[in-house]
Structure 1
Amino acid sequence: MSQLIANKAILIIGEKWQAQALTEQLKRDQPNLRLDLSSRSTEGEDNNISNKNKLKYQLICWLLQEETTTETLSWELNQLKTREPEAALLLIMNNGGFFNRDFLLQLPLDGLLEQPSLTEINEAIELITNGGRVFRISEAMQSSSTQSSNLGLKQWFLLSGLDQINAEVNALNHRLSVFPKGGLKRFVIAGRLRELNMARKLLHAIWGSASPIHQFKPKPKQERLQIYLPKRGGNDILNQLQIELAKEFGSCSIFETGYLLALEALLPERRLNLFESLLHEFKQLLEKLSTENCLALTTIPSGDQPATDPWVQQQSLLRQRALMKLVGAYTQLPREGSLLPLAETLISSANLDGEEPELCSLYPILIALIEGKPLLIHGKLMAADQPFALLHVQTLVSNWLLRNGERIAKEVLEACSNWPELRRTMLPVELLPTRELDRLRNKINSLERWQNLFVRPVSIYESKRVFYSLRSGKFVSQVLIEPRDNELKTLLWWQQAITILLETRDALAPQLEILINRFGSLMVLLLTRVLGRAIGLIGRGIMQGLGRSMQNSNLSAEKP
């Protein structure tokens, strides 16, 4: 451990044997530390230690080993913060799977470790006491909601069947992620998943629907979360974010978005070079905006001239420079018998101007990182160094990188279609044939038309936005709710027609539901009151007729 944390006071809270064991280990590694012990078993003991020792602590380390409620955890952390307002808080947990990850990230903590080693604890203490933050949460299953013990036989049968189906579905999904694309095994597993889905619907049809908390939801494993922030300044956050994203991009090779087809088609080393170029250009542009102090400055519109945005103005130049770094500024390739400068030829033929329509505004990131202003996330103002805010910033930057990378990759594919020599340097062997490359380009164009025709208007009307990010070595997509009223006004007439159809359906659906319910009530009335009574009267008349005929036959038999 570094000598920077020497002569600093640290308070360790936990069970006696756990706190003493950690204290002995820390004293052995760093004898100059001032370590105090405290037990959370009784409140009086904490007060005695507080009254006895007036030393200001730089760090409070809480060893939480047993399960507790979220309310209790929040209350005790607030009490610790009130008791030592200037001390940093480090929470060490044995198992955080019974807590929601969003809840843990919003706690007033400077560090959070789950099942750490002694080396990780030493590194975290050194980092936090020097003004940094560290969060490490292990990969674990999502905690399942507790079920009520007062279940009837009907719901017990339903829930037990659903649990068995869900367990098998999770196992099959895990196997499906292991097998490569295509193949007989994936085909058989996909068929089995369809059978299980039908079995789930059949259970609901037989036993009725379960309560909302028991409805089936996949239980994916929580990805391992690691936030390492040595310093909390805006430039420090930007530098650390660039380092983390560079590591993530270097290890990502699986695409699960279904739309980043152009990026997926590039060679892995070319794709990594493209991401590194975009990250470098992103950092340089932010530094330029910071030094020129032009982030919050916009040109005052005069007459019909709209206000200009320096960030948006630099986007086309940024893509061109990233493309130049991707292929090399001085690289030349033969084409039709002559050597051509690759970067200049691609930039002249590529269409990299204009703003990406589905790319959200990056002004909150710029304000938070350059000017130190908070981020507005889900209606709450958060500092940029908060864990939840850091993850949100990372998602936005990842989305920006992936969407710009996809746009540049599309232009590269377009150039490869007319430049056979370029294919060998940019594309894998599977895409060297002209037929395969044209098939991929047609698929990309079809998806782009469908997105522009239907998906984008619907997403704007429903205030949804798709973000592409990196998780556990995979390129994934996630949908976040975000008001997009301004974009709704800029849609073309045929895109607005899609939204009008959706609005018409939403307006007519309640009336149609009422009409169907009234018609059903009328049919019930006709069947029970009218037709039922008529059938009853007919049966009654038949019975009376049979009775009279029997009486007449008896009278005729009695006569001589």
Structure 2
Amino acid sequence: MSPSESAVTRVVKIMIVDSDPVFRLGFRLGLERFPDLQVVAEAETGAIALDILSMRSDADPLDLIVLEAALGARDSTAMQGLDLCRQLKQDQPDRPVLLLSDRSEAIFIAAAQQVDADGYCPRQATAEVLVGVMRRLRSGQATWLVADEGAIAPAAETPRAIGQPLGPWGRLWRQTGQSGLQQIEDALAAIAASLENPMDEVERLIIEGRQRELQAARWLVRRWLVPDLPRVEPEPEPESSPPPPDETRAIVQLPVPGALEPQLAAVHDVQSILFDAVLAKLQQPLINQTQMPLEIDVLRDEKRRELCYLILRRLEAILDELRYSQVQPDELETKRSPILLDLWQAVVIDFLGRYYTVSLNDRSVEVVAVILDDQERIQRELLDPIPFVVDWLAHLLFQTPLWVERTAYPVGNPAAIARAELILDHLVIQLANAVVQPLLDRFANVEPIKQALYDRRVMSFREMERFRNDLSWRYRLSRYFAEPTDMFESQYRLFALRGRAIRQVAVYAPRTQDLEQLSGLPYVVTLALEARDAVSPRLRAAIAFVGSGVIYVLTDVVGRGIGLIARGILKGVGDAWQDSRFSRK
């Protein structure tokens, strides 16, 4: 028997566990082109998957399980995808499990490694890429496929194309399919980005329906326009059986900038995943892309990252202290402000040095002592407004569910991990701003501090004053306009680390109590927004009605009148011309 015949006869039996029936259908039909891979079981939930496994006999085992990482994301009471993966690997460690996800951030890769998954692949990967990943898993090679800016990294191994070369019509057919597929992928990416924003339930259902339609269209394009040209034959597999469970498996890394290193596979809790993920992002320059000035913009890049690193280290130490002191969940609300203040004070001392002194007005001044004198103002203006701190602490300390939109997600759920990472990003950036802000107020133009900390672009007196004025205007606009608007729209704007950039992300949160406490100009802003929402539709309708009337008068009355006059003039000219010709005859 030849190797190719052996590869065809040894079929890999696969079970797909995914909540989307359209995706399961496309997955099953897409694998029909590959005779060495066969879907023999499907499950919509984790409970159904466990029932199927319990009913299968040992004589007919499954070779591979493909699992949706976000399984159970819409139902906090259902078994979550990561929990199911952990249980599957505990029951049968030598059976590979491949996690699929719509997102490929480094933190999700780390979460997949924590539950002992054998591979990770984006759901938007092509069938050929996915097949290459599954073949590697079956041969004993763990594969972590990561997307870079929405583009799927090439598979580590690709199928061989055989058959006759494509003719001109074949190439045109294939290019048409690839162009349509790219448009569908762009539309799906836009929908995925829109689903991260707060919206009502009806709008979300409509967008999710559109997403399923596009996924079905993508499957049809891949099925009929792209993959059949040229014909694909599976690569022959080696005759050796898969390695035993205790054998070390090779990890095929397809990294992107900022991705976690392979040693993160040994992490054992969500806290380690979160802190390691943020630490990995701090290895790159932090570029402010929020369209607003931040206090940390004044620092040199290495000092900015050093400050964020000190905050992470101190925050981790405070979490350990809270565990050791056996603080109770109902005590976190009262301890929130002291915790943040202690964290801020410790970072100020670590960053500047307890005994750091500068010469100011012919006298020696201790920088840290002067900055700590502003602690009441810093706590009131910068630390207390940081949202979700209590929820985040309770999530890490007591494994309480974390609310995302209107759903509570348990520890380990991809949605909870993403929200916890976003809260940690915002907490680190805001604490860093709180450290730099009093430094700018008290020592903005002290030359030794400029030389030691500040970026060269703000070294001159003029640029420093311009930067401070921009910060001042930012706080005024935020206090009087942006913050009341966010309260009225039931959202917070959080700073997030996205690769090399600092960006703002809007997240839903009920803020009725904050609205009730508004007064003065911020309260007037909310009234103006409400009045605009009440008057704007009627005003638009009135303007549209008046515009329609004006258009009717101009076209049907004035236009027709002008047309009749022009017609009469032209007819008179024609009659006069006719009369002149007749008179000459």
Q: Could you state the TM-score of these two structures normalised by the residue count of structure 1?
A: 0.60
Question: Quick check: 2:445–2:464 contact (8 Å CA) kept in 1?
Answer: no
Question: Quick check: 1:252–1:470 contact (8 Å CA) kept in 2?
Answer: no
Q: How does 1:60-459 map to 2 (within 5 A)?
A: 60=64, 62=66, 86=91, 91-92=97-98, 100-101=102-103, 110=115, 111=117, 112-114=119-121, 137-139=146-148, 141=150, 228=264, 230=266, 232=268, 236-298=269-331, 309-349=334-374, 351-354=377-380, 356=382, 358-417=385-444, 419-459=446-486
User: How far apart in 2 are the matches of 1:396 and 1:48?
Assistant: 38
- The structural deviation recorded for 1:533 is 6.8
The answer to whether residue 565 in structure 2 is matched with residue 499 in structure 1 is no
Q: Deviations over 1:56-87 (max 9, x none)?
A: 99x945599xxxxxxxxxxxx99x98x96955
| Amino acid in the other structure paired with 1:311 | R
Question: Quick check: 1:295–1:311 contact (8 Å CA) kept in 2?
Answer: no
Which secondary structure does the structure 2 equivalent of 1:479 belong to?
strand
Question: Quick check: 1:137–1:224 contact (8 Å CA) kept in 2?
Answer: no
User: How far apart in 1 are the matches of 2:570 and 2:273?
Assistant: 92
Going from structure 1 to structure 2, the CA distance change for 1:547 and 1:349 (only over 3 Å counts) comes to closer
Question: Quick check: 1:402–1:468 contact (8 Å CA) kept in 2?
Answer: yes
Give the share of equivalent positions with the same residue, in percent.
Answer: 18
Which secondary structure does the structure 2 equivalent of 1:470 belong to?
strand
User: How far apart in 1 are the matches of 2:60 and 2:526?
Assistant: 64
| Amino acid in the other structure paired with 2:305 | L
Going from structure 1 to structure 2, the CA distance change for 1:63 and 1:542 (only over 3 Å counts) comes to closer
Going from structure 1 to structure 2, the CA distance change for 1:348 and 1:524 (only over 3 Å counts) comes to closer
Aligned-pair Cα RMSD in Å: 5.1
User: How far apart in 2 are the matches of 1:87 and 1:418?
Assistant: 64
| Amino acid in the other structure paired with 1:101 | R
Q: How does 1:456-535 map to 2 (within 5 A)?
A: 456-527=483-554, 530-531=557-558
User: How far apart in 2 are the matches of 1:55 and 1:528?
Assistant: 78
Q: Which residue of 2 aligns with 1:10?
A: none
Q: Deviations over 1:287-338 (max 9, x none)?
A: 3333334342249xxxxxxxx6211232223211210111112333344444
Question: Quick check: 1:464–1:480 contact (8 Å CA) kept in 2?
Answer: yes
User: How far apart in 1 are the matches of 2:257 and 2:572?
Assistant: 80
In structure 2, runs of 5+ residues without a counterpart are: 1-6, 14-34, 42-51, 69-80, 122-128, 153-175, 187-213, 215-255
Moved more, 287-296 or 531-540: 531-540
Q: Which residue of 1 aligns with 2:40?
A: 43
Question: Quick check: 1:270–1:326 contact (8 Å CA) kept in 2?
Answer: no
Larger radius of gyration: 1
User: How far apart in 2 are the matches of 1:292 and 1:526?
Assistant: 80
Q: Could you state the TM-score of these two structures normalised by the residue count of structure 2?
A: 0.57
Going from structure 1 to structure 2, the CA distance change for 1:15 and 1:90 (only over 3 Å counts) comes to farther
Moved more, 380-389 or 346-355: 346-355
Which secondary structure does the structure 2 equivalent of 1:478 belong to?
strand
Question: Quick check: 1:266–1:427 contact (8 Å CA) kept in 2?
Answer: yes
Greater RCO, 1 or 2 (C-alpha within 8 Å, sep 6+): 2
In structure 1, runs of 5+ residues without a counterpart are: 1-13, 21-37, 65-76, 127-133, 144-155, 167-212, 214-221, 300-307
User: How far apart in 2 are the matches of 1:261 and 1:313?
Assistant: 24
User: How far apart in 1 are the matches of 2:103 and 2:393?
Assistant: 26
Which secondary structure does the structure 1 equivalent of 2:535 belong to?
helix
User: How far apart in 1 are the matches of 2:418 and 2:334?
Assistant: 26
Question: Quick check: 2:293–2:474 contact (8 Å CA) kept in 1?
Answer: no
Aligned partner (choices 53, 62, 79) of residue 58 of structure 2: 53
Which secondary structure does the structure 2 equivalent of 1:425 belong to?
helix
- The structural deviation recorded for 1:405 is 0.6
Question: Quick check: 2:307–2:351 contact (8 Å CA) kept in 1?
Answer: yes
- The structural deviation recorded for 1:527 is 4.8
Question: Quick check: 1:136–1:226 contact (8 Å CA) kept in 2?
Answer: no
Going from structure 1 to structure 2, the CA distance change for 1:18 and 1:442 (only over 3 Å counts) comes to farther
User: How far apart in 1 are the matches of 2:88 and 2:429?
Assistant: 43
- The structural deviation recorded for 1:267 is 2.7
User: How far apart in 2 are the matches of 1:470 and 1:423?
Assistant: 26
| Amino acid in the other structure paired with 2:340 | Q
